[in-house]
Amino acid sequence: MTALLLDHVTKDFGDKRAVDDLSFAVRDGEVFGFLGGNGAGKTTSLRMVLDIIRPTSGRIEILGRAPGRENSADLGFLPEERGLYRTMTALDTITYFGRLKGMTRNDARAQGKDLLDRFGLGSSANTKIEKLSKGMAQKVQLATAVVNAPRLLILDEPFSGLDPVNQGLLEDEIKRLSREGSTIVFSTHVMQHAERLCDRLLLLADGRKKFEGTQDEARATLPARLTLAARETPVGLPGVASAAEAGNQDGWTLWDVRLEPGGDPGDLLQACTERGFGLRKFEQSRPSLHDVFIHIVGDAEGRA
């Protein structure tokens, strides 16, 4: 089943096109990364999914339905711009958001207590938001997004402003919800979080889709890169596009080797064996998502 579908969606603000003919599908139960630099169109796209704003053209489906209030019981949302009622207590805040999503007061309160305990805030259940530290308030905000055990959880730049401890807590919560069957879509411009969490991802730039697929499929867009320790240059071997000296190891020269597009490291190793090309090291480097992002989207977006 498709949990979320965007079909040729476009959004214009006056003469500015924020989202340009965007199509993608999120499968039921997967963690989907929505990646792009600042201003790429991520937040605008998610606001259309949540029916906060309407697309100029195109079609959106959420759990088989059009965007609207009838989806609220199945949705959770953590906005980039956080905001809670400062004079409400932590538990009352979570209960209130649970009620907005169709939960009974007793169920929302019980789930709120469980979440506060799990987030290490059990003793602060009756503390007003204005008395909590920023990190504690962020945990309460996260609890409001997941109190209804949403079938589809949407997180807009969820790691923004979090300290490393709370970033880890959020990653753990995403993994827990995924294990329990929730579909999770989160936007970010920090590739490390996507690398640890995503089943599939989409790369967005200037409102347009640049890539959609798995991490392995994304990495396959980059030419293979190897480190060889050899006595002589590997330039001229089959599939080698370039080779640069990268140091010395026990009298052997280290080479940073890049293969031609589509080049197979296994074919290169076989050629070395057949030609008697002496090797002490043959190691393939795994490109990071940051490297992939720079390659697909471009350096300007990669610095965003």
Could you read off the pLDDT tens digit of each residue along the chain, which spans 304 residues? Answer: 899 999 999 999 999 999 999 999 999 999 999 998 888 999 999 999 999 999 999 999 999 999 988 888 999 999 887 789 999 999 999 999 999 999 999 999 999 999 999 999 999 999 999 999 888 998 999 999 999 999 999 999 888 878 888 888 889 999 999 999 999 999 988 888 999 999 999 999 999 999 999 998 998 888 888 999 999 999 999 999 999 999 999 889 999 999 987 788 999 999 999 999 999 999 988 888 888 998 888 754 444 3
The domain that holds 118 is classified in CATH as 3.40.50.300
What CATH number is associated with residue 245? 3.30.70
Residues 17 and 90 in one domain: yes
What is the rounded end-to-end Cα distance, in angstroms, of the chain?
A: 34
pLDDT, residue 299, reads 54
User: Do 155 and 238 reside in the same domain of the chain?
Assistant: no
100 part of a folded domain: yes
Domain of residue 52, residue span: 2-219
Q: Considering the domain boundaries, does residue 299 fall inside one? A: no
234 and 137 within one domain: no
Strands across the sheet containing 183-188:
75-78, 152-156, 183-188, 31-36, 200-205, 208-214
Q: Are residues 103 and 241 in the same domain?
A: no
Q: Are residues 54 and 196 in the same domain?
A: yes
Buried b vs exposed e over 227-252: b needs ≥16 C-beta within 10 Å? bbbbeeebeebebbeebeeeeeeeeb
160 and 278 fall within a common domain: no
- Provide the number of structural domains found in the chain: 2
Q: Could you tell me if 139 and 249 lie in one domain? A: no
Residue 291, domain member (yes or no) = no
**Residue 300 placed within a domain:** no
